[in-house]
Amino acid sequence: MMARNDNSIIEVEEVLRLVDQNTEKLDPLFKEFNVLDTQPGGTSALRAQIQNASLTFWLTASTLFLLLLLLLCLALCINQRQMYHRKLKAATATAYAKD
């Protein structure tokens, strides 16, 4: 097993190959930490990132849709209020008009 002292990052496949080649040397360490199996974590981490991205997209899209619905409801309420306010003014103006 070669030791690198340059703090470089090794590819997952190479690390797993080195672990597989040196299981006899690593056996005491595996027993100490109760390691049963070693597998790469690259694909599951990438899949989790994709799921998080799609979840973020759908949450943002649904939030924007609900915001648009809220704005539509507020616009309709303001429009109805103005219309009834005008009708109320018209109804009370003729009843109390000075001749």
Kindly report, residue by residue over 35-45, the tens digit of the pLDDT. Answer: 887 666 556 65
Within the chain, which residues score under 70 in pLDDT?
1-4, 38-47, 94-99
Domain range holding 81?
59-99
Asked whether residue 37 falls in the same domain as residue 66, the answer is: no
Q: Give domain status of residue 51, yes or no.
A: no
Asked whether residue 63 falls in the same domain as residue 37, the answer is: no
Q: Give domain status of residue 30, yes or no.
A: yes
55: phi then psi, degrees, rounded to nearest 5: -65, -45
**How many structural domains comprise the chain?**
2
pLDDT digits over 10-26, tens only?
887 888 788 878 878 88
Asked whether residue 35 falls in the same domain as residue 71, the answer is: no
Whether the model pTM is above 0.75 = no
39: phi then psi, degrees, rounded to nearest 5: -140, 155
